[in-house]
């Protein structure tokens, strides 16, 4: 397996624009996580899914953020409208599930909102 695949690797957008980040988890993994990482706040969990169902979205900063997982092999994180304070590295991670909580991370998407 190629691991968790995220796209794009880098995104620069203007304030107010819609941004969509994409993730393909490892095949067979039941859990998918979206994280945001900044120097100031470290690694923050935004939302996670179990078998494509959102379980906890309490980390989503506000209504401008939304996430979907239409099937087991694809998830999106959307920011609309984007703001400069959304600039960060966004990671997607997946876990096998059951008693195995090891998180496998993608390479991340570095988002810059100007």
Partner 1 sequence: TQLLEQSPQFLSIQEGENLTVYCNSSSVFSSLQWYRQEPGEGPVLLVTVVTGGEVKKLKRLTFQFGDARKDSSLHITAAQPGDTGLYLCAGAEDSNYQLIWGAGTKLIIKP
Residues that bind partner 1 (CB under 8 A): 4, 31, 33, 42-43, 45, 48, 50, 55-56, 91, 93, 95, 97, 101-108
62-91 burial string, b = 16+ CB within 10 Å, else e?
Answer: eeebebebeebeebebebeebeeebbbbbb
Q: How far is the CB of 62 from partner 1 (least distance, A)?
A: 19
Of 16 and 97, which CB lies nearer to partner 1 in the complex structure?
97
Of 45 and 81, which CB lies nearer to partner 1 in the complex structure?
45
Q: How far is the CB of 3 from partner 1 (least distance, A)?
A: 9
Q: Which helix (H) or strand (E) holds 51?
A: none
Of 19 and 46, which CB lies nearer to partner 1 in the complex structure?
46
Cβ-contact 67, 76 below 8 angstroms: yes
């Amino acid at each position: 397996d190629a691991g968790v695949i995220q796209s794009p690797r880098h995104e620069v957008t203007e304030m107010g624009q819609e941004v969509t980040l994409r993730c393909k988890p490892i095949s067979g993994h039941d859990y998918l996580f979206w994280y945001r990482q900044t120097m100031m706040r470290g690694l923050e969990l935004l939302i996670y899914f179990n078998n494509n169902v959102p379980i906890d979205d309490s980390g989503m900063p506000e209504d401008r953020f939304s996430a979907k997982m239409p099937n087991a092999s694809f998830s999106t994180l959307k920011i609309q409208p984007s703001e400069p304070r959304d600039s960060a590295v966004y990671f997607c991670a997946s876990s096998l599930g059951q008693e195995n909580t090891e998180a496998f991370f993608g390479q991340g998407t570095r988002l810059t909102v100007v």
